[in-house]
Amino acid sequence: MKLFWSALITAALFVDCLAFNLKPHTNYQQLNDVDSQAAQQVAIEFTRDFVRTADLAPLIKTHFAPDFIQRYTKGKLGDANSPHEYFVPGLEYNSRLLSEASPEDWLRFYTAANNFIFFGTMSGLKNYREGADINATDLYPAAVINLLNTNATLSNMIVRKGRSKPVDSVAAMQKATATLEQALSLMRQQSKGQTPFKINEQELIKTIQEDEAFRPTVQTAGDKFFGLPPGTQVVFIATPILFQLMLVKDNNSWKILWAEPYTGG
């Protein structure tokens, strides 16, 4: 499993960007055994289902808090201190869009961007050979690389070429989303409907339950964090596919408040 984890990190770090830290700025607390096991189960199901489908959309319906996008924009709007905000590796947006874009636009943008990152990470792992350099074409087909290079806001998502151009309008967000969706369609056509990577589910369960890297932690939400009431418990847990999950309780079960590519830090 060590090689598996190292390979994933290598593939993810090829997409050159520091992960944005969405954590509440409060002290860590202990999570009781029942909630810890429940959080690990969410991580197991998220990982299994994402690898099976290579599509975040059905996971959003089953595993996410129903208002997670609205909570994200509300929380970020109240906490925005920069004209440009990180979204996923190589992609930023103007903070005006937190109020100008609709929840539907944000949901499509979030789904397409994270599907794209996930597909590249899994393809990089599938094509990984120990000691070999990872090339852009190990993550994405040449046609996809060329397609993203036609959009200035997306051209840094595969290989960094300089300073990123943030998505700065609703129209630009919709265009970027459509381009990412087109890229995903090309990748799915090339893979003939097969997911880019397969996992051993029993090994997955064992790893998340036993490896310290996947031990959940809990913090208390402060003011303006994702629009949550101050004092709400927020659980953080990493997954073996380099997505970090933030969980909150919804009707006595843990739901995903946010999932983002995790590239360290």
Average pLDDT, the chain: 83
In a domain, 8, yes or no: no
The residues near 125 (Cβ < 8 Å, ≥ 6 apart) are 4, 7, 8, 11, 197
Tell which wins on pLDDT, 65 or 29.
65
For residue 58, what are its two tokens? 């059905």
The burial of 80, by beta-carbon neighbours within 10 Å (0-12 exposed, 13-18 middle, 19 or more buried), is given as middle
In a domain, 98, yes or no: yes
- Find how far residue 81's CA is from the centre of its chain: 22
Count: domains in the chain: 1
Tell which wins on pLDDT, 196 or 140.
140
- Find how far residue 53's CA is from the centre of its chain: 15
**What would the pLDDT profile of 155-172 be if each residue is shown by its tens digit?**
988 888 777 799 999 999
Tell which wins on pLDDT, 204 or 7.
204
Specify the residue for token string 């599938």.
126
* Three-state DSSP state, 47: helix
Q: Which pLDDT score is estimated for 235? A: 94
- Angle, to 10 degrees, between the axis of helix 170-191 and the axis of helix 103-126? 40
In a domain, 29, yes or no: yes
In a domain, 16, yes or no: no
In a domain, 72, yes or no: yes
* Domain ranges, residue 120: 21-261
**What would the pLDDT profile of 219-234 be if each residue is shown by its tens digit?**
888 877 888 888 889 9
pLDDT over threshold 80, residue 97:
yes
* Three-state DSSP state, 132: coil
Tell which wins on pLDDT, 102 or 81.
102
In a domain, 6, yes or no: no
In a domain, 110, yes or no: yes
**What would the pLDDT profile of 102-150 be if each residue is shown by its tens digit?**
999 999 999 999 999 998 888 877 776 665 677 787 789 999 999 999 9
d(CA 200, CA 217): 25
pLDDT over threshold 50, residue 177:
yes
In a domain, 140, yes or no: yes
**For 85-99, 144-158, 200-214, which range has the lowest pLDDT when averaged over its residues?**
200-214
DSSP string, 9-28: HHHHHHS--PPP----SS-E
| Residues forming a β-bridge with 238 | 244
Mean pLDDT of 245-265: 86
- Angle, to 10 degrees, between the axis of helix 56-63 and the axis of helix 103-126? 120
Q: What are phi and psi of 90, to 5 degrees?
A: 85, 10
Q: Which pLDDT score is estimated for 130? A: 61
CA geometry: angle 257, 259, 260, nearest 5 deg: 140
pTM: 0.86
Mean pLDDT of 179-185: 96
pLDDT-derived band at 6, boundaries 50, 70, 90 = very low
pLDDT over threshold 60, residue 265:
no
